[in-house]
Structure 1
């Protein structure tokens, strides 16, 4: 009976602990290359020049079937049956999970991008829908009869190795807004895999089914068992990796809100900017990532389905199990093989991670982290993490950090732990504190590791002038920031420092900003009071000559219109423009009446161009006057056609005038169609008079 119980417990192990390895440590901005496993964007704009992880080990164990006092449970004489608190249900779950991060390193390509290469070995065993009532009765000397129907046991055991390459880059760095992204590509090598799942399994266990102290067990349904082919050579000595490979991907983004960004940027007088590398710059950091996208194909694996319709005594079942060489042999000998196939895939524990980190000071932080499995627990042949929400206050500095992770873990409930990083060492547990005070712990974890960190150095200022050496043109001699950290001098020894001397290489009075006074144009007016120091002029005009800006022969000092050409008679202003008289308008319209168009069209006849040129000549005599060109037709044809024709003819006349020198700003046009006749449209003569173009004075 004990062996069957052990078998069921092994099949039931997994799925309950923190979805995130190295709980607490990965919230640290000094977790370095290790942080790629949570979010690949973390490695760029980090606090490291480079970071080398030698080895880090994280292990988890948990369940929702039994609660224990952890420190009693690790003793050699611990009696599980007598001391453990049992919580059997029809759907119990449990966990054994390890994560080993091997030699790994990261380095910065430039200020905005980084690269990491890491190795990692992982092992998961996931199980669902394990009937705890059945296990408890098998494990009890005076158990009750159990009837269990519609069971859908799903378990998966999987171990694999990873070789990952991560590239991360800053996407946005705009004062308060900062965004970076990262992508990891992983080569996966399977190390071993097996899964068991049941379909409509029922178990009818009778304590005295075949007589006193002789129990019976009846099972029905289908059981699928998959395992990779043997990875041991024929002699049973040398381990060989199975024919199982795959690829995986992680993708992540990190956004930082940096309201105090000016504190982390230094700029000298030459415009060179240095970004502080050794300080965290955010008030709030938000991270979002999806990890473990991919699968491993076990090409030589075997998946077999058995019909387990069987009635037997428990004693005989135990004998069959004891005598079998392996679990596969037990299944093949005891049940009926229904289906067998070669090769299967195991999906990675794909998960969504959201992380929010708030900075109270440059040393005190609080982190909110959520891990959400994207793999259904009903997915056969897939590993998955447990959904978790954790809150981690921490103290963080370059050489030392301390964490207090607290969270709610799916199935295992509330967990509280502690961890620290001291230089190259990191160690911790996400559950050690809750385990210390509880006799009913359902989960426990621990991690430890060692690395070689190479931190970003702080900005040095050897001469103490407030200008960091990276931007200081004179790093060993103090000087003002305005002169890029160099002291001001007095090259011409005139008592005016070069920063205030407009002529640093020529002595001059302070009143002239260190430049000597002179008379460059030799007009008797010194340059300090000469408004035109390079052009001879008069004292009355502040050393400038009088000019004639409009070239009208009247000097600007007496020209009443210095920017408009005029006449001496009008003191340099132009004579008033002539006004258009009624006689002029009669002349214009007398010309206009003789403008001829091609029949039914708006195109001018060649004979009209001479008349139009006369109109142009008249209009040029009155440059300040504006005119409207109005078109009229007789009543022949439709109103619409006549309206359009009158407009086009007026437009054609205006276009000719513009093309021949009349400004478009002085002209407008309008068509009146047949609406304004000046004669009788019933006669040929009247219609000819009505077809006309008129020139009207606007202003």
Structure 2
């Protein structure tokens, strides 16, 4: 069972980089199609009739399981990283560039990769009413394991495991998928004193890779001294009283060590948002706006996904088992079938069929924006995950406050964020013509951290065909003055 856990941790830590949306830029009135994934109404406020994103990528990592010592993100490009080995005095506490572990009793890992490909939005007038339509494409990867009972801390510290240990239940899910979405937004309640805008995203989801593991109850783990002929540094570890469900599918070809891209799942997704805006008729900028959005309602069905269940089997010898010593495990399935052989005497007994479903990372996003003076805004975002389906990937909870200056040719802002209501980050963004750079956790990018365990970076390239400005808009307005 330990290898099952290591397999999942490998997915979370190394297969994908984590990410989160850049909230500072998402509140920019010129963010356009890039921000409809957080607020489906946001493109409605773009004064340009066309908005085109060529490519954007948002990269973020946060965990309290492992870190790299005394380093920053840019320094990693040329650094030679060592794996911690306490017995050889290779520790993150006393030297740099060491991949070391926190070794806390509970471990959290969160990931959310988001890259937007060619996408656009267009503003049009239909029967004297403004509509905004958009089309976007994304590549996403997301997953989490929260409050994992960190049995691995003993091995990480190279100290003996306790003779008896109960590993608490946990669940985790991760998924990578492509997404194509249609965005639409328009004003409703035309006779209201305020402006009410309704926006929706209808999305087609194309699943690529996924894994879901659930430990339904405590696992009894026992450790004993190895035989005299075996390595004394590694105890014999046994698992019993387990009840584990594992579902997975991947495009990675382990035999040839390459990734073969193909669609393995499909599904539908929905984002819906409503915004109330206070804006004077003759003003280009609003005084304030409040939006409430429900994001990622839906799921992806992997019909060919592989399902295993380990329940009520015999005690399984996990570490120092001579049966595993000379085995060449090429794929995860090789190992799972060998575990099945140990638990039930039949390598096919744990296999329980094909097909599983992973829910999208459903969340609520509430946003408030207040104009301070011309081109200056203060903005607040609150995102709370609300898993809608039984087996859903989960995004991180976030509270963000930012101050931004938004002009046609450029914009910039500074922000502070509280991730999972306990990790405080500082960042910002810069929009200079077609180039946008930003980070919600800027310091680790440039400054060395004693424990580098989180970082963020955002990059986008876009352009505005048929760009608009204040002079053009005023020329188009109908004059209601007396002749």
TM-score by length of 2: 0.83
Alignment partner of 1:351 out of 352, 355, 363:
363
1:310 aligns with 2:315: yes
Aligned length: 448
Aligned to 2:402: 392
**CA–CA distance in structure 1, aligned partners of residues 400 and 321 of structure 2:** 48
Alignment partner of 1:227 out of 248, 251, 263:
248
1:191 aligns with 2:208: yes
Instruction: Within 5 Å, give how 1:671-682 maps onto structure 2.
Output: none
Q: Alpha-carbon deviation of 1:210? A: 4.6
**CA–CA distance in structure 1, aligned partners of residues 422 and 113 of structure 2:** 17
Q: Alpha-carbon deviation of 1:330? A: 0.7
Aligned to 2:121: 106
1:218-271 CA distances to partner (integer Å, 9 max, x unpaired)? 112022221237687x9999946244211111100111123xx1543xxxxxxx
1:48 aligns with 2:65: no
- Which blocks of at least 5 consecutive residues in structure 2 are unaligned? 85-90, 94-99, 344-348
**CA–CA distance in structure 2, aligned partners of residues 257 and 305 of structure 1:** 55
Q: Does the 8 Å contact 1:412/1:442 carry over to 2?
A: no
Aligned to 1:374: 386
Secondary structure of the 2:221 match is: strand
**CA–CA distance in structure 1, aligned partners of residues 406 and 351 of structure 2:** 57
Q: 1:189/1:3 Cα in 2 relative to 1: closer, same or farther (>3 Å)?
A: closer
1:140 aligns with 2:141: no
1:346-386 CA distances to partner (integer Å, 9 max, x unpaired)? 1100110000111101222111100010117xx76311111
1:297-330 CA distances to partner (integer Å, 9 max, x unpaired)? 1111121102464353622279459621222211
Aligned to 1:443: 454
1:216 aligns with 2:236: yes
Q: Does the 8 Å contact 2:160/2:235 carry over to 1?
A: no
Q: 1:207/1:65 Cα in 2 relative to 1: closer, same or farther (>3 Å)?
A: farther
Aligned to 2:59: 59
Aligned to 1:541: none
Which structure carries more relative contact order (alpha carbon 8 Å, separation 6+)? 2
**CA–CA distance in structure 1, aligned partners of residues 373 and 323 of structure 2:** 63
Q: Does the 8 Å contact 1:386/1:410 carry over to 2?
A: yes
**CA–CA distance in structure 1, aligned partners of residues 412 and 436 of structure 2:** 10
Secondary structure of the 1:37 match is: coil
Q: Which is greater in Rg? A: 1
Q: Does the 8 Å contact 1:242/1:300 carry over to 2?
A: no
Q: 1:207/1:421 Cα in 2 relative to 1: closer, same or farther (>3 Å)?
A: farther
**CA–CA distance in structure 2, aligned partners of residues 245 and 8 of structure 1:** 22
**CA–CA distance in structure 1, aligned partners of residues 192 and 219 of structure 2:** 64
Structure ranking higher in strand proportion: 2
Q: Does the 8 Å contact 1:162/1:189 carry over to 2?
A: yes
Instruction: Within 5 Å, give how 1:285-684 maps onto structure 2.
Output: 285-307=289-311, 309-312=314-317, 314-316=319-321, 319-320=324-325, 323-335=328-340, 336=343, 337-338=349-350, 340-375=352-387, 381-410=391-420, 413-433=423-443, 436=447, 438-454=449-465, 455-459=467-471, 468=475, 470-471=477-478, 481-483=481-483
1:165 aligns with 2:182: yes
Q: Does the 8 Å contact 1:249/1:291 carry over to 2?
A: yes
Structure ranking higher in helix proportion: 1
**Which deviates more, 288-297 or 409-418?**
409-418
Aligned to 1:241: 262
Q: 1:143/1:183 Cα in 2 relative to 1: closer, same or farther (>3 Å)?
A: same
Q: Does the 8 Å contact 1:60/1:95 carry over to 2?
A: no
Aligned to 1:36: 36
Aligned to 1:71: 72
**CA–CA distance in structure 1, aligned partners of residues 462 and 322 of structure 2:** 51
**CA–CA distance in structure 2, aligned partners of residues 457 and 245 of structure 1:** 42
Aligned to 2:87: none
**CA–CA distance in structure 1, aligned partners of residues 133 and 430 of structure 2:** 26
**CA–CA distance in structure 1, aligned partners of residues 441 and 384 of structure 2:** 19
Q: Alpha-carbon deviation of 1:393? A: 1.2
Aligned to 1:648: none
1:419-446 CA distances to partner (integer Å, 9 max, x unpaired)? 1111111111110136637424432111
Aligned to 1:532: none
**Which deviates more, 433-442 or 218-227?**
433-442
Aligned to 1:525: none
Q: Does the 8 Å contact 1:63/1:412 carry over to 2?
A: no
**Which deviates more, 394-403 or 2-11?**
2-11
**CA–CA distance in structure 2, aligned partners of residues 321 and 250 of structure 1:** 51
Secondary structure of the 1:360 match is: strand
Alignment partner of 2:134 out of 107, 116, 128:
116
TM-score by length of 1: 0.58
1:508-533 CA distances to partner (integer Å, 9 max, x unpaired)? xxxxxxxxxxxxxxxxxxxxxxxxxx
Alignment partner of 1:255 out of 269, 276, 279:
276
